[in-house]
Amino acid sequence: MAQILVVDDEVGIRELLSEILADEGHQIMLAENAGAARRLRSQQRPDLVLLDIWMPDTDGITLLKEWAATGQLTMPVVMMSGHGTIDTAVEATRIGALDYLEKPIALQRLLATVKRALRNQGVAAPARLALATLGRSAVLADLKKRLAQLAQASAPLMLRGERGMHPELFARHLLPAGSPFVSGAEALSDSPSDVLARAAGGILFVDDLRRLARSEQKNLEFLLARAEKHKARVVSFSTVEPRRLVAEHEFDAELAQRLSELVLTLPAMREFAEEVPEIAALMLAQLVESRTCPPRRLSTAALNALRQQNWPGNLDQLEAAVRNLALTALEEEIQLGDVERVLAAHSAPASAGELPLDQPYREARDAFERMYFEFQLAREHGSMSRVAERTGIERTHLYRKLKALGLSVGKREEP
């Protein structure tokens, strides 16, 4: 027996669906509008939701987006409408809906859809952060439009951006509804034919090209040459431009050129700071839904404090801070003081008293540079390539500078 939530503003449809599904042995909850559905979902997680699109208070697509944005889209949702279009069905599927039923709903179609949805509900996982649920900022709204255009192309696409940006978030927005998404970084050591079979009709995504060894580059070259035949699209990500990939990371020049046939630069998180509260709330909801932490919510003051941060580490840094808050806060509602405590621990800025301001200029400058590069090395876990990229210093010059300051030189190759 499953618990099914039926959301529809028409009392006749609610009663009819309730009777049919109750006869099948299911427990039925009814909501006459989006507000009632919100309240029921906040109290419990149904096994399935049948959600009407056209409702007087809030339409079903908007409610679906809300659940996705707050991490509550962890159950299968089937949309219902008597006035739907193909575009509406595609949008609902992109956001996270499992299926679409057109009214009047045929009995056998209803029962078959419910049966299939309930087969999948046991493995439903907390909803991942999805670009479809964001877009308040002009920067992300513009980026989504560009991605929508690029989704119509089949040529390889290279995403460029800073570290910590979760590039998979943007690559998934290119994915046709119901199509496979294969992480190439993990699959490049597998049989190429198996990888192509899994990615057929979808996307093969390769994260951080700088890390690919020669053998992995050769496998990627093999896959790229055969991707079009399997209707698989190769999307990659790099924090450096193709020229630097070749010059500084032993990347094959021809492969870099083919991967960068199309290039799109991703904005850093500071460029869409107004989205931070929604992103942080979703990250926290995911931790709660997966039972990583007890029930938690962020106060308005806490959300504002997170929004005002610079976040040089982008989404990775925000995710680490939210996880820390979820596991160390003492109350269910995370307050401003909790955020200040965690941010101080994450940034650990040097105080002015630690700077040798009473020394001669040259000694003070050397002491500051030593402190600066110690911080950069610690943040990048000793990776010289990343420190060079972060500081804007050519790597050979960086080695000389560190040696002159008496600092331990990190590895020349990426870990």
Domains of the chain, by residue range, sit at 3-121, 138-267, 271-347, 352-404
Tens-digit pLDDT profile for the chain (415 aa)? Answer: 799 999 999 999 999 999 999 999 999 999 999 999 998 887 778 999 999 998 988 899 999 988 876 767 888 999 998 876 777 877 888 788 889 998 989 999 999 999 998 887 544 455 567 888 788 899 999 999 999 999 999 999 999 999 899 999 999 999 887 789 998 766 777 777 788 888 899 999 998 898 888 888 998 999 999 998 999 999 999 999 999 999 988 899 999 999 999 999 999 999 999 999 989 988 998 888 777 888 889 999 999 999 999 888 899 999 999 999 999 999 999 999 999 999 887 654 444 445 666 667 776 787 788 888 877 877 776 778 888 888 888 888 888 888 777 776 654 444 3
Q: Pick one of 3.30.70.920, 1.20.120.1460, 2.30.30.90, 1.10.8.60 as the CATH number of 271-347.
A: 1.10.8.60
The CATH number of 352-404 is 1.10.10
The architecture CATH gives domain 138-267:
3-Layer(aba) Sandwich (3.40)
Please tell me the predicted confidence (pLDDT) of residue 412.
43
For the chain, what is the HEC assignment? CCEEEEECCCHHHHHHHHHHHHHCCCEEEEECCHHHHHHHHHHCCCCEEEEECCCCCCCHHHHHHHHHHCCCCCCCEEEEECCCCHHHHHHHHHHCCCEEEECCCCHHHHHHHHHHHHHHHCCCCCCCCCHHHCCCCHHHHHHHHHHHHHCCCCCCEEEECCCCCCHHHHHHCCCCCCCCEEEHHHHCCCCHHHHHHHHCCCEEEECCHHHCCHHHHHHHHHHHHHHCCCCCEEEEEECCCHHHHHHHHCCCHHHHHHHCCEEEECCCHHHHHHHHHHHHHHHHHHHHHCCCCCCCEECHHHHHHHHCCCCCCHHHHHHHHHHHHHHHCCCCEECHHHHHHHHHHHHCCCCHHHCCCCCCHHHHHHHHHHHHHHHHHHHCCCCHHHHHHHHCCCHHHHHHHHHHCCCCCCCCCCC
Please tell me the predicted confidence (pLDDT) of residue 374.
79
- Are both 3-121 and 271-347 of the same fold? no
Counting Cβ atoms within 10 Å, is residue 331 exposed (0-12), middle (13-18) or buried (19+)?
exposed
The CATH number of 3-121 is 3.40.50.2300
